[in-house]
Amino acid sequence: MKIINFISNLAMPMIILLITIYGLKEKNKVFDTFLEGAKEGIKITISIFPTLVGLFVAIGALRSSGVLDLVINFIKPILSVINFPTELMPLAILRPISGSSSIAIATDIMRNVGVDSLIGIMASTIMGSTETTLYTIAIYTSCVKIKKTRGVLYAALLGDIVGIIVSVVICRLMSINFS
């Protein structure tokens, strides 16, 4: 375990060192290139800021309005038939929308049921196998000024649904095999 921690601590400094050495070998002005990238990053941040504000406001409204609980209560009978844990539904609904909200929900799930419980493991697997789809699409498309994202949205959300379902199924299969 100590060797893994040692390698983890060295990873970023080594990457920076390798990039610097490569830049010097290629006779690039490494620091000037870094500054140009930082300037471009600030421009991108300013251009996507309105999109981020809109997403955060929408997520806050969704969570505080009780709509999430209403949706979960509405589909609870279907979830019980397909044996999908209702505790995971807030995570499944918000994961494609917001990374920070989904992290908060996953943390809450693990606090309530335990990190080593089946539900906790499912929540962790869902977090690792899905993406903050709407956020990612909004950022990427606003940077390159793409307006029509319908096809991308459908494909990405389908990928999230598959990731969530497969996470639950695989975790259930693994818990049966290791019980």
Q: What residues contact residue 127 under an 8 Å CB cut-off, 6+ apart?
A: 91, 95, 102, 103, 106
- Closest by CA to 164, choosing from 137, 134, 128, 138, is 128
Q: What is the pLDDT of residues 8-21, one digit of tens each?
A: 889 899 998 999 99
pLDDT at 1 (0 to 100): 65
pLDDT at 163 (0 to 100): 94
Q: What is the pLDDT of residues 25-57, one digit of tens each?
A: 988 888 888 899 889 989 888 887 887 777 777
Q: What is the pLDDT of residues 102-136, one digit of tens each?
A: 888 888 899 899 988 999 999 999 999 998 888 88
pLDDT at 178 (0 to 100): 59
Q: Are 98 and 132 in contact (CB under 8 A)?
A: yes
177, pLDDT greater than 70: no
How far apart CA 38 and CA 126 sit, in angstroms, is 33
